[in-house]
A = this chain, B = another copy of it.
Amino acid sequence: MLRLSTKGQYGVRAMYEIARGYPDEPVTIRSISEKQDVSIPYLEQILNKLRHAGLIRSIKGPGGGYVLQRAPEEITIADILFELEGPVAITSCLDPSEGCIRVERCVTHLLWKSLGKQIEDFLNTITLKDLLSGKSYKDFANIINKKKRMAGV
């Protein structure tokens, strides 16, 4: 349950490759394709969205490729996934573009909203830099929990 589509997954992996070239080495689509085992046409579709969102820009011609528009520590996983898959919406009625017609009597509305918030907090906290620095499983949990403690939750 709660699976992420391949677009989101590949998008994050593509951004990881582009981040590795930051700040001065443009990364070609071919090189991303080879390193991450994703077809070039599919990557084009994905990178196109990320470019329109202002997360990356492209440099044409020989020697060109993609580069980050912001530093790796300034780009979160949420930034990437949001562009490729839209907002976290555990249920359709929690999608801002749809809306709920039975909020009042829906006993689970707040439950899903709260779960969505937990997920968003996590995704907003982890950045490309965390990915680059090879964080461990425990590290990721600590990053988010530490942040919450500091926020006084």
A: residues with CB less than 8 A from B are 1-5, 8-9, 12-13, 16, 37, 77, 81-82, 85-92, 102, 107-108, 110-119, 122-123, 126, 131, 134-137, 140-142, 144-145, 148-149, 153
Contact = CB atoms under 8 A, between A and B. Distances in A.
Main secondary structure of the interface of A (DSSP, over half): helix
How many copies of this chain sit in the oligomeric assembly? 2
A145 to B, nearest CB: 5
Most interface-central of A88, A107, A113, A119 (chain B CB within 10 A): A107
Contact of A4 (B2, B81, B87, B122): B2
B91 A113 contact: no
A119 B12 contact: no
B3 A119 contact: no
Contact of A107 (B13, B115, B137): B13
A140 B115 CA distance: 8
A137 to B, nearest CB: 5
